[in-house]
Amino acid sequence: MVKFLSKILTAICLFTFIGSQKTLANDENKKFVYFTFDDGPTAKNTPMILDKLKELNIPATFFVVGKLINENPQVLERIRDENHAIGLHTMSHNRNKCYASHEAFIKENSELRDLLKSKFNIDANLIRFPFGSQNSYLRMDKVFLEKLHNNGFKIYDWHIDTLDALKPQNTGETILSICKSQFQKRFSENKNLVVLMHTNSNNNNTIEALPLLKDYFSNLGYEFNTLTNAPELYNIK
């Protein structure tokens, strides 16, 4: 009887052990894709993107431009109220102004962070550099990165570029095949995957691509998340 009981106990322990191992492994194996939209809030495109994200139940991250917030404050409030993340994309998006010096870039993003906090009660410290952190106007190096970190900012470039800024005329299907090709060539092992998109007035085809992209990444086992839950992402050459 004692032997029988101890066998059962061993079996239960083993089962519990395997069960917990499985749960742990599953957590570690989770994969996340982060859709990001630069250059808003715009009057028409951003609300249409928000409608589509709501329909698809996808959380996303919007890197907003200060001068557009003054033009479309109600659109910014919608991004906030629909629980998307909001990041910084300078006040002016003007390469001559925002990239005049490290200090100019930090000032533009600090000003934007203050505006978001004081007028909209939004805490934002994620930065997406216009044209990326390795842009040809003021490239981020270790010294610049340290200054940004000292000011409490976190930097996010991207893995997959939908090319919707360069070629907004591309159809949703073409945008999907561009993403597929970049994913398969370079990022198929990634557990975190950041996708660059735009919400300019000419980005209607980006909206068309969203359901296709959702299906593609969901079928690969990715879950959707906002960048507030992701590690920083940049290259320093």
Site of interaction with Zn ion (CB under 5 A): 38-39, 130
Cα 203–Cα 205–Cα 223 angle in degrees, nearest 5 = 100
**Which string of DSSP letters, residue by residue, matches 74-134?**
HHHHHHHHTT-EEEE--SS--HHHHTS-HHHHHHHHHHHHHHHHHHH-----EE--TT-TT
Tell me the sheet residues that pair with 86. Answer: 62
Complex with Zn ion: residue 66 or 130, whichever CB lies closer: 130
CA distances from 75 to 122, 148, 150, 182 (A): 14, 28, 31, 31
Q: Minimum Å distance from CB 130 to Zn ion?
A: 4
In angstroms, what is the minimal distance from the CB of 36 to Zn ion?
11
For residues 92 and 204, which CB has a smaller minimum distance to Zn ion in the complex? Answer: 92
Minimum Å gap between C-beta 28 and Zn ion is 34
**Considering the complex, what minimum distance in angstroms separates the CB of residue 224 from Zn ion?**
22
Please state the closest distance from residue 89 (CB atom) to Zn ion, in A.
6
182 versus 203: smaller Cβ distance to Zn ion:
203
Q: Could you tell me if 141 and 147 are in contact, meaning their C-beta atoms sit under 8 angstroms apart?
A: no
Nearer of residues 170 and 203 to Zn ion, judged by Cβ: 203
Q: Least distance to Zn ion from the beta carbon of 220, Å?
A: 27
68 vs 213, beta carbon nearer Zn ion = 68
- Among candidate residues 233, 215, 64, 90, the one with its CA nearest the CA of residue 161: 233
Phi, psi of 196 (to 5 degrees): -90, 125
- Of residues 192 and 203, the one with the C-beta less far from Zn ion: 203
